[in-house]
A = this chain, B = another copy of it.
C-alpha cells in the first residue's frame, strides 16, 4: 500500500476540473459524431489524413506520424491497417529494409480530407470558438501550453 500525503483540491480547482473534464467529453463525442455523420471519417482518420496531405509528396514514415500524433506504435499500426483496408492510405515498404514503411495518401484519401476539412473547421468554430472572446482563446492556449510544458519535464 502506497502512502500518499493527501492534498485535496480546493473548491475552485474542483469545480474547474469537473467543468474541464465534462467539456472534453462533450467536445470529443460531438465532434466525432458530426465528422462520422458528414464524412464517414473518425477523428483519428482525420488527424492522419491532415498530416499526410500536408507532407512532402503526401507520404510519411509511420514513426513520423506517430511522433506528430503522440500515438503508441501499436495503435498507429492498427489504425493504418484499417485505413488501408478502406483505401485511404497505402503502405509502401522500403526495399532493403523491411523495418520501415512509407505511408502514402491515396487519391481517395486526398479527396476525403479535402472535402472533410472545411466542414470540420466550421463545426469546431460553431460549437467552440463562437462561444469565446479573443481573450478567452488566448487564456486557454496559455493554460494548455503551460501544462504541456510541465508534462514534458515529467518523465513520461
Binding site for B on A (CB under 8 A): 1-2, 4-9, 12-13, 15-17, 19-20, 22-28, 30, 38, 70, 115, 118-119, 121-122, 124-132, 134, 136-151, 154
State A140–B146 Cα separation when bound (angstroms).
12
State A145–B16 Cα separation when bound (angstroms).
8
Residue of B with least CB distance to A7: B125
A124 partner residues in chain B, CB cutoff 8 A: 9, 17
12 CB-based A-B contacts, threshold 8 Å: A9-B125, A12-B141, A17-B124, A19-B145, A19-B148, A20-B141, A22-B70, A130-B150, A131-B147, A132-B146, A136-B142, A139-B140
State A38–B4 Cα separation when bound (angstroms).
12
- In the assembly, how many copies of this chain are there? 2
Distance in angstroms from A133 CB to nearest chain B CB is 9
A119 partner residues in chain B, CB cutoff 8 A: 2, 4
Decide if A2 touches B129 in the complex (CB within 8 Å): no
A15 partner residues in chain B, CB cutoff 8 A: 141
State A4–B114 Cα separation when bound (angstroms).
13
Decide if B141 touches A19 in the complex (CB within 8 Å): yes
Decide if B16 touches A144 in the complex (CB within 8 Å): yes
